[in-house]
């Protein structure tokens, strides 16, 4: 454990073995777990609130959760576990709220092909998760020669009818968040960061970089509110880009309604043994060698399985053409990390369709884990009683042996090993 939040702290630097206040190490870990989940929920709540949606019950939970971690308030590991489950439930409410906000504002997504590469004209790359900021930017460049390119978690924007209607939404560039330094140096465009993950800039492009909303980086101009005229003006000062299509197109925009419209066909294919299993492979990508696992994993899966994906982890494999099974695509992009709610809705509907519980479906979750929104999502899955989730590429440092024991013993969490070994176990 490490806690240095009060003046009783050991040696004046931090309690590392046990709290001077009496706090046990496992309670310290569970408090950290709760705080990380609350950070994740807050990110989604922020985006929902910006679109005019809020939920007093979630607000009250966040208040109670923070309060619980003060010195000498709650030292019971059981109640903290309950709070973690509650955080998962609150995150489900929050993801639902954000999905409702996105759909009511921009329409429900439909499958859409997204161009990569550039079009002739000036450009702005927008990264992060904030659809509202993208909408405002697109309104402001309409009818001009400044085109907007989505990066990373902004890709699902193209699926929303209310966003792809803008002619100046030109396509998607790059892969997951950590390619920013290479990508931003490569393209002479203005750059707008709307949420995580926004990386500290290189000197060579800091003067064309802007942040907005809660995002701030030293030396980077911050835009308060939604007037992006400075970003657009900066894009205009930069050289024009050529008309240069990318090597592949991406497909995004599979919503709950779209998938449920294929329910009868999916049922038939499963019953005839033509679809053997569904996989949810996605989550937050991380710049680690071990993350190569996810591309190899998807490539090595048998032909009779369907892969659902979401969040920036999909950029490990979303350029692959996996084809279809009698019209049902084998690679289905559900959207951003917060669109885990779509995965949950679809899993619930499949369970109803087959008259079984979610854990009895031929469905395996293989989740890549990077930051704190993933903690909130993991607890959402656990709160629904989903067992046997595979996690990787590695777990964050605060998941020590005690925390892992809780996850393994109570929720049957498994850590990924190699694609060959894991696929054998999952298909078996
Ligand atoms: Fe990725 Fe970053 Fe959605 Fe995360 S861009 S890593 S959970 O913040 O957000 O998937
Ligand atoms: Fe140490 Fe407890 Fe104070 Fe944390 S709250 S610094 S564990 S005495």
Q: Report the length, in residues, of the chain.
A: 428
Q: Which long-range contacts (CB under 8 A, 24 or more apart) does 410-413 make?
A: 411/382, 411/387, 412/387, 412/388, 413/388, 413/389
Distance 28 CA to ligand 2 centre (A): 9
- Does ligand 1 lie within 6 Å of residue 377's CB atom? no
Distance 24 CA to ligand 1 centre (A): 32
Distance 20 CA to ligand 1 centre (A): 36
Q: Which ligand has the minimum distance to the alpha carbon of residue 127?
A: 1
Q: What is the pLDDT of residue 428?
A: 86
Q: Determine if the pTM surpasses 0.90.
A: yes
Q: What is the pLDDT of residue 138?
A: 99
Tell me how far CA of residue 22 lies from CA of 9, 15, 71, 136, 337, in angstroms.
11, 10, 10, 51, 37
Q: Which atom of ligand 2 is nearest to the CA of 72?
A: 5
Q: What is the pLDDT of residue 369?
A: 87
Q: Which two tokens stand for residue 146?
A: 């400044």
CB distance 121 to 178 below 8 Å = no
Query: Which residue has its alpha carbon closest to ligand 1 atom 2?
Result: 197
Q: At what angle do helices 293-300 and 419-427 cross, to 10 degrees?
A: 50
Cα 298 to Cα 257: distance, rounded to the nearest angstrom: 25
DSSP 160: S
Q: Which atom of ligand 1 is nearest to the CA of 177?
A: 5
Which residues of the chain, if any, have pLDDT below 70? none
Cα 220 to Cα 188: distance, rounded to the nearest angstrom: 16
Q: Which two tokens stand for residue 352?
A: 């109803």
Distance 333 CA to ligand 2 centre (A): 44
Within 13 Å of residue 224, how many CA atoms lie on the same side as its CB?
0
């Amino acid at each position: 454990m490490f806690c240095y939040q009060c003046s009783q702290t050991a040696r004046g630097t931090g309690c590392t073995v046990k709290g001077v206040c009496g706090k046990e190490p496992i309670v310290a870990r569970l408090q950290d777990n709760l705080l990380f989940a609350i950070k994740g929920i807050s990110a989604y709540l922020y985006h929902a609130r910006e679109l005019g949606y809020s939920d007093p019950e979630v607000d009250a939970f966040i208040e109670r959760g923070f309060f619980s971690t003060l010195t000498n308030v709650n030292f019971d590991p059981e109640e903290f576990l309950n709070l973690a489950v509650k955080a998962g439930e609150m995150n489900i409410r929050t993801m639902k709220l954000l999905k409702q906000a996105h759909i009511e504002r921009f329409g429900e997504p439909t499958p859409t092909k997204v161009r990569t590469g550039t079009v002739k004209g000036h450009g702005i790359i927008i990264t992060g998760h904030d659809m509202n900021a993208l909408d405002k930017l697109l309104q402001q460049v309409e009818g001009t020669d400044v085109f907007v390119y989505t990066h990373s978690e902004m890709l699902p924007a193209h699926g929303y009818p209310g966003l792809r209607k803008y002619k100046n939404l030109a396509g998607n560039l790059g892969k997951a968040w950590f390619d920013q330094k290479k990508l931003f140096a490569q393209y002479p465009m203005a750059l707008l960061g709307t949420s995580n993950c926004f990386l500290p800039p290189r000197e060579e492009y800091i003067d064309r970089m802007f942040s907005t909303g809660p995002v701030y980086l030293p030396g980077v101009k911050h835009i308060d509110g939604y007037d992006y005229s400075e970003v657009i003006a900066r894009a205009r000062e930069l050289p024009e880009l050529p008309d240069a299509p990318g090597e592949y197109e991406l497909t995004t925009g599979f919503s709950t309604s779209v998938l449920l419209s294929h329910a009868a066909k999916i049922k038939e294919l499963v019953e005839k043994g033509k679809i053997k299993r569904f996989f949810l492979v996605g989550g937050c990508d991380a710049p680690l060698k071990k993350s190569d696992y996810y591309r190899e994993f998807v490539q090595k899966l048998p032909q009779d399985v369907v892969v659902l994906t979401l969040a920036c982890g999909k950029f490990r494999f979303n350029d692959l053409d996996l084809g279809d099974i009698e019209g049902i695509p084998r690679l289905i992009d559900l959207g951003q990390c917060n669109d885990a709610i779509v995965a949950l809705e679809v899993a619930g509907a499949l369970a109803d369709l087959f008259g079984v519980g979610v854990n009895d479906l031929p469905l395996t979750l293989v989740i890549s884990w990077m930051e704190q929104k993933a903690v909130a999502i993991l607890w959402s899955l656990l709160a629904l009683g989903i067992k046997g989730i595979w996690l990787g590429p590695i777990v964050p440092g605060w998941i020590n042996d005690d925390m892992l024991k809780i996850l393994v013993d109570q929720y049957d969490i498994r850590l990924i090993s190699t694609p060959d070994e894991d696929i054998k176990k999952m298909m078996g």
